[in-house]
Structure 1
Amino acid sequence: MNFTQSPITLAILTSAISFSAFAQTQNQTQNKSDNAANADEQSIEVITVQSDFREQSLQAIPSSLTIMSSADMETRNAENLEDILGAVANVNFSSGSQRARYYQVRGIGERSQFQEAINPSVGVLMDDIDLAGIGGIASTFDMAQVEFFKGPQGTRFGANALAGVVSLQSNAPTDEFEGRVRLSAANYDSLSSGLVLSGPATDGINYRFVAEKNVSDGFIDNTFLDRQDTNNRDELTLRGKLAIEASEDLDVDITLIHADFDNGYDAFSLDNTRETLSDQPGVDQQNTTAGSVKFTYTGLETFDVISIVTHADSDLAYGYDEDWSHVGLHPWEYSSTDHYLRDRKNSTLEFRLVSNPEHRIFADSSDWVVGVYGKNESEDLIRQYTYLDSDYSSSFDAQNLAIFAELQTHLSEQLTLTSGLRFEQRDTDYVNSDGLDFQPDDAMIGGKLVLSYQLTDAAMTYASINRGYKAGSVNSNGSLPDELRAFDPEYLWNYEIGFKTAFLDNSALFRIAAFYMSRDDIQISSYHLDEREDGSSEFISYWDNAAKGSNTGVEVELLWDINDSLNVYTSLGLLDTEFEGFTYGDGTLETGRDQAHAPNYQFNAGANYYFTDRLLLNVNVEGKDEFYFSDSHEQKSDSVTLWAASLSYQADAWSVKLWGRNVFDEQYATRGFYFGNDPRDGYTAKPYYQYGEPARVGVTFDYNF
């Protein structure tokens, strides 16, 4: 076993467009063959995009789509989806919770949720299960790949894909028995363990079982309570899969997931440090049980039948010490907590017919897909807040029904036109304890036109127009004036051109995409402050529509296999955003500024150096520009550059890795607010920040059997 297999050969053959773990990709493939030293003699499985209407090679996708492989995630020593986002151009996230559960693609996406019933701009799926808004439980252990669809996916995914979709695909059951044990330890009393068992159960049935446990003190010292675990992590993930060959023509794939995250939440400090003064630290807990069943029937001559049924049931408890302090801090103090207890359920059904290549329509020129999609989601909320006379409660139910169709028309051997259309109806029923009874309904249309041209065997270019949409909803807080009660659907047009090629005798891979997005009736997060009698302010988050906005950018990715010992990789995202026409709470009109959580640049670069065929050094750097924390105030983050490194030794059946993230201990903010909350300065308005992870150093041991 060794590391000498050509990394760029793998990259070209698999059409991989994520580069951050390029060296480790070799390891995973080499472990399956004793002849890994010669890539040309190996049969290498082509990586496919699994979440589109039909599986196809990543290289053939005419869009800006990034896939992070399992090896990419291991190179970044990732435990959770949030740990890999820095490697993906024009993808950002927001904290405000223990784990990032809100994501932004090309500058678009929510940053938090309090009382409101909101519709996500970025969809999150795990094995087809809808985790949008609850994606903080997205463990990356034993994930085969994570697919980042950038831009509106109005035809494929509909109302929860205005900005894009993140789709996690876990490893499939295997035909032969295999197992894996992982143990990892790091600073801040961090420990993790994982187990994988996979193989045949009976003839025609294969299984895979995955268990993972992560614990950590977190990165906060509570000096008032003299504790270091008020922002702790205690996370359990269980996942089971069955691959059933029910007959020669029918395959059934079953996934079951259980996640129990019992995390603390004590992240904000009156002094903007990692030392808090809270006497009632918060929680960020989630207990999710979910499953999916996928039926694939290939017994018909003309088309295949695919049906997917999913269900997810989540109990969420999110709360915090609102004053971020303790009784006795100051004579002007107030003391309160705010907790949100949610019971969220969603069920989906998708049924689609996918044509076979031998049965194209329109003079044997067009492949086709038609289908229907239904979704039922509900959320019961109880808010326990110090300043409420009694608990606030609400009930939210929504039903989505969509029909869709897509044609892939081959105009010539090199030229292909893809056209898609989706019509979606959403009906909502919302009631709460303030007496609000609201039944909005939205009819929305999305679609796409994509023209792609294969220039050579190694190069292709494309141009596309996509239309996405997101349903409207209602603001729930009874203190809001009537004019802030409801907000409308948002629509987005995305215009994109791209180019992909391999060059330098297949030793380099280059991809570039440029886009312009036009947004109408932008749904933005704002807030309203009600002053209390004691001089403090109640923070009321709500949603509103800005008149219009635009997002323009470029995404570039380059990989170069310099020689047998060294390869380098880089990605760059450039973004220019603007919104205008929004009237703030003080009556002023926004005439044009950057959108929130939309940095003007993001980059990732690194190198892999092989000292021997078993010893590998990886060095990686990522960074992003400053960005506004909110659309409703002027506070910005600082620009940041984060370095990481790892040294790995690979034996025949085991490996050990010494790793570090944020090795220079940069302090950077992942969420920010602006208001008065400190009695020591008379509740003067100022910025407050939640910080990303500090310097992390750890060691990971893997044993395969």
Structure 2
Amino acid sequence: MAFKRGLLWSACAVALGTNGLAFAQNSDGDDDKRLATVTVTAQKVEQNLQDVPISITAIDAAALETREIDGFDQLQYVAPGLAFNAGVNARQSASTIRGIGTSLFNIGIEASVAVSVDGVIMGREGAGIFDLSDVQRVEVLRGPQGTLIGKNASAGVISIVTKDPTDEFEAHLSAAYGSFNEVNVSGAMSGPLTSGINGRISAYSNTRDGYIDNINPNAPQDEVNERNEQGVRAKLDFKLSDTSNFLLSADYATRDEATGALTLREPSAGGPGTGLLGFGVPVIGPVSAANGITAGPENTQIASEAEFSSEMDALGVSGEYSQSFGDFEFVSLTAYREWTSVDNNDSDLIPLPFLAINSGDLAQDQFSQELRLVSPRDQTLTYTIGAFYFRQNIEQDNIQFGTAGLDLLGALPAGLRVGTNLQSDFEETNYAVFGQGQYAVTEKLSLIAGLRLLRSEVSGGQEKFVADGAVAPYAGQAVSNGRESASDEESAVVWRLGAQYYVNDNLNLFATLTRGYKAAGIVQGLSVRPIQGNMLPTVDAEIPTQFEAGFRKTSLDGRLVTNLTGFYSEIEDFQAQTLIPGPSGTPIFTVANAGKVETYGLEGEVTALPTDNLTLSTAFAYTNATFDEFDQAPCYALQTAAQGCVTQGGNRFQDLAGKDLANAPEWVINALARYDFSLTDSIDAFAQVGVQYRGESQSGITGDPNTVMDDRTLIDAQIGTRLWNGHGELTVFGRNLTDEHFVEAIVGMPFDTGGYAQFRTLEAEQTFGVKLKLSY
């Protein structure tokens, strides 16, 4: 351990001593040309990114547009250290930062990465997984951020900041068309409405055909994993007086898509314990082959008979009141949000009714209130103090209904069905007082301290019934004997200590030690069996402790920016979801506390302006994320004793100490080259190429060698021209130009023990498009 830490900080020191040399010889001597200042609100106040002692990537509106980033899941292609675990629906999809994250089919467990929209924390990450429209910037904060940002920021925060009303009239309209009949349209208008009131309204519509073919002629859809989303946002900015302001915001987004389809990657090889429910009878592979499907990493076909659907609606309203008291600023942010999600998918991928219905119906609402007092920024002591209150309710109805393949095994008479209906609910209250300050010991040295005192109260319950039309519970699941429930109440302390030292105006060093927190959770699900007294299982709170150090440097008269951060984290009681064999052989989801997780690494960003026309940037993340302790981890399918699987008392488990976490590639490297030039005196143009390398990583936490996702290199390019004195812009773009085939998830195949399915994203397809933007 000591050796690894020493190696990490030695690398930081070497980089500090050598940075700033790149591109120096290419400077053309024009001191007026420099890189733009990046302003962020990561610490609840506006700051130059170079002054923030946090590992942060900020992607502004221009960068999002030129890289054609318009979806939440695409942020991982521009923010190293961030990965997105694409589930079959938004209820399960989740992000990881530095290898830490929890993707769950469980309403009683929250994610480790907080998602914030205009300062409002989403109660569940799925509520924030909508397209990015009229966005000012996205800030990805790595590591625990719980002192200033409430709730579940134990691994980091994805903060989305949308555009505010403007003092002068402006408007824009953009339309893009691309491969798979992708049509993206967005527009916004902003400006003064009357004296003291400015307004802004924006809307978008994004549609696309599916890229997975359902070749079953009787299927309700012949293409799945499509896109169909619309949304609108409105803001009113009331200037109440010279010292007070009120910003009212409202937004609504809707999605109605045929999505959630995986494809068959590898059928089971056959033999004892494999195939249908582990009975050695191969079904998925032979039936898929008989329907003309060739299983494999590049497979984009299924032959399902059931419907794939994902319908989501999200709406919210917030009010932000700000009042100046001399040089002090008081802010009150009040918000209410609702999120509903209804989905269904056919996970057997063949024209047999193993899962004729596999649906989830979720409704979530939340209310939050935050109060902040911000001190003047030009004092020896600067601070932000506040209070936070959050309440949410979630209700969910899950149905699994079909034959489960039992008819093929002679265990279910023809024409009959088995099925289970799970009705679950969850309630959470979280309230806290918090503060963070910085004290200037000298003009160069400042000390940092932050504290959050919080109280978390969670409760939840469920009941399981035989589904309507079924003769028994689904595939060995048990129905309830009354309501099953659990609750947990806990107080916690989150803190941060650190120091920042300005070597000069262009170079500062920082180091912080942070303690984070993610609340305890309740394990709910179709296959969860309560303990005595109908008490549901719970998992303990997740507690990260992180040391972080780095530097921020600007050189060559603002033409070169170099940032580097090293980190080391230990997470106690990491909340991990995994698949384990169910009573009938079908895999089921469960959640458990891993004893301890360790993650360390380096993150860096370099942006250079070697000439007035050429911008070069690169960002990288090296992450080593492993289990330090997890001796009761579940085995993967068909894992043998020689491979580390131990059987005791009918349970199979393994020790994952030293094994990799899921979705944590060692290396992620992004690079971008952009060249701006003039075609004529009135027409400017640009060309740019982006590259991302992502190393291999595990898709799940069980260490299954069959779920390792290969490394990949993606190349995108854009060529554009500005027309009509800058009021128009025409861009031609291409993604995945080398047609790299990859997947974002590999999972054990339901109903085919030893087989595997995969999730292919659109980014695994080579696509092209054209976009026209008009602005006033």
Q: Deviations over 1:267-304 (max 9, x none)?
A: 21233411111111322221011121111100x23632
Q: Which amino acid aligns with 2:555?
A: F
Q: 1:480 to 1:246 in 2, by over 3 A?
A: same
The aligned residue for residue 318 of structure 1 is 343
Q: Is the aligned partner of 1:262 residue 2:256?
A: yes
1:90 is aligned with what amino acid?
Answer: G
* More off after superposition, 384-393 vs 341-350: 384-393
Helix, strand or coil: the match of 1:422?
A: strand
- Bigger mean CA deviation after superposition, 169-178 or 479-488: 479-488
Report the counterpart of residue 592 of structure 1 in structure 2: 658
Residues 530-545 of structure 1 mapped to structure 2, 5 A cutoff: 530-532=582-584, 537-545=585-593
SS in 2 for 1:73: helix
Are the aligned partners of 1:267 and 1:274 in contact in 2 as well (CA < 8 Å)?
no
AA of the residue aligned to 2:176: S
| Cα displacement (A) at 1:57 | 1.8
| Partner of residue 385 from structure 2, selected from 370, 388, 394 | 370
- Select between 68-77 and 437-446 the one with higher mean Cα deviation: 437-446
What is the count of residue pairs matched by the alignment? 646
- Aligned partner of 1:280: which letter? A
Aligned counterpart in structure 2 of residue 546 of structure 1, from 582, 585, 594: 594
- The answer to whether the 8 Å contact 2:148/2:435 transfers is no
Taking the aligned partners of 1:442 and 1:148, their CA distance within structure 2 comes to 28
Q: Which residue of 2 aligns with 1:84?
A: 75
Deviation at 1:229, TM superposition (A): 3.2
Q: Counterpart of 1:30?
A: none
Stretch of structure 1 that moved more, 579-588 or 665-674: 579-588
Contact 1:129 1:291 in 2 (8 A): no
Instruction: Write the letter of the residue equivalent to 2:395.
Output: D
SS in structure 1 at match of 2:517: strand
Aligned-partner SS, 1:120: coil
Aligned partner of 1:632 in structure 2 is 702
Q: 1:46 Cα shift?
A: 4.8
CA pair 213-479 structure 1, distance change in 2 beyond 3 A:
closer
> Residue deviations 1:454-483, cap 9 Å, x none?
111111111111111101111113633557
User: Mind listing any 5+ residue stretches in structure 2 that lack a counterpart?
Assistant: 1-29, 265-294, 403-417, 464-479, 635-651
- C-alpha change, 1:478 and 1:236, in structure 2 (3 Å) is closer
Paired amino acid for 1:599: P
User: Are residues 305 and 592 of structure 1, via their aligned partners in 2, closer, same or farther at CA, if it must alter by over 3 Å?
Assistant: same
1:649 corresponds to 2:721:
yes
Correspondence 1:475 to 2:523: yes
- Residue-by-residue CA offset, 1:320-353 (whole Å, 9 max, x unaligned): 11312113xxxxx734331110000111100122
Post-superposition shift, 1:117? 1.6
1:128 and 1:292 in contact (8 A); partners too: no
Task: Tell me which residue corresponds to 2:758.
Answer: 689
Match of 1:279 in 2: 305
Matched, 1:187 2:179: yes
Given candidates 396, 421, 425, the residue that maps to 1:395 is 425
Q: For the residues of structure 2 that align with 1:263 and 1:130, how far apart are their CA atoms? A: 26
**Structure 2 CA distance for aligned equivalents of residues 505 and 126 of structure 1:** 35
Structure 1 residue 562 displacement after superposition: 1.8
Deviations 1:422-461 (A, max 9, x none): 0111111211113212111122211101200011111111
Question: CA, structure 1 residues 676+230, in 2 after alignment: closer, same or farther (shift >3 Å)?
Answer: closer
- 1:87: how far off? 1.3
Matched, 1:351 2:371: yes
Correspondence for 1:522 among 574, 579, 588 = 574
Aligned-residue offset at 1:220: 1.0
Q: 2:561 aligns with which of 501, 504, 509?
A: 509
What corresponds to 2:12 in structure 1? none
Match of 1:147 in 2: 139
Q: SS in structure 2 opposite 1:321?
A: coil
The SS at the match of 1:587 is strand
Alpha-carbon distance in structure 2 between the residues aligned to 1:482 and 1:531 = 15
Partner residue of 1:421 out of 427, 444, 451: 451
Pairing 1:671–2:745 present = yes
Partner in structure 2 of residue 161 of structure 1: 153
Q: Cα–Cα, structure 1 residues 664 and 208, in superposed 2: closer, same or farther, change >3 Å?
A: same
- 1:658 maps to 732
Q: TM-score, normalised by structure 1?
A: 0.88
Q: CA deviation at 1:507?
A: 2.3
Q: What's the secondary structure of 1:469's corresponding residue?
A: coil
Q: 1:47, CA displacement in angstroms?
A: 3.6
Q: Tell me the distance in 1 between the aligned counterparts of 2:606 and 2:327.
A: 40
SS in 2 for 1:155: coil
Q: Deviations over 1:362-402 (max 9, x none)?
A: xxx32222211000011000112116655210111110011
Q: Distance in 1 between matches of 2:355 and 2:33?
A: 69
Give per-residue Cα distances to partners, 1:49-94, cap 9 Å, x unaligned: 2242322221110111111000110111122122232111211111
1:164-222 residue CA offsets vs partner (Å, 9 max, x unmatched): 00111111111111111111100101111111111111111101100100111121111
- Calculate the TM-score normalised by the size of structure 2: 0.80
Separation of aligned partners in 2, 1:141 and 1:154: 27
User: Which one has the largest radius of gyration?
Assistant: 2
Q: Tell me the residue number matched to 2:121.
A: 130
AA aligned opposite 2:742:
Y
Q: Is the 8 A contact 2:656 2:702 kept in 1?
A: no
Does the Cα contact within 8 Å between 2:626 and 2:657 map onto a contact in 1?
no
1:304 aligns with 2:356: no
Counterpart amino acid of residue 317 in structure 1: V
Q: In 1, are the aligned partners of 2:747 and 2:756 still within 8 Å (CA)?
A: yes
Deviation at 1:567, TM superposition (A): 2.4
1:581 maps to amino acid: F
CA–CA separation in structure 2 for the residues paired with 1:121 and 1:259: 24
- Counterpart CA distance in 2 for 1:165 and 1:222 is 37
Q: Mapping of 1:98-137 within 5 angstroms?
A: 101-111=93-103, 113-131=104-122, 132-135=124-127, 137=129
Q: Secondary structure at the match of 2:525?
A: coil
Extract unaligned runs of 5+ from structure 1: 1-37, 328-332, 678-682
Q: Residue type of the partner of 2:633?
A: Y
Deviation at 1:408, TM superposition (A): 1.2
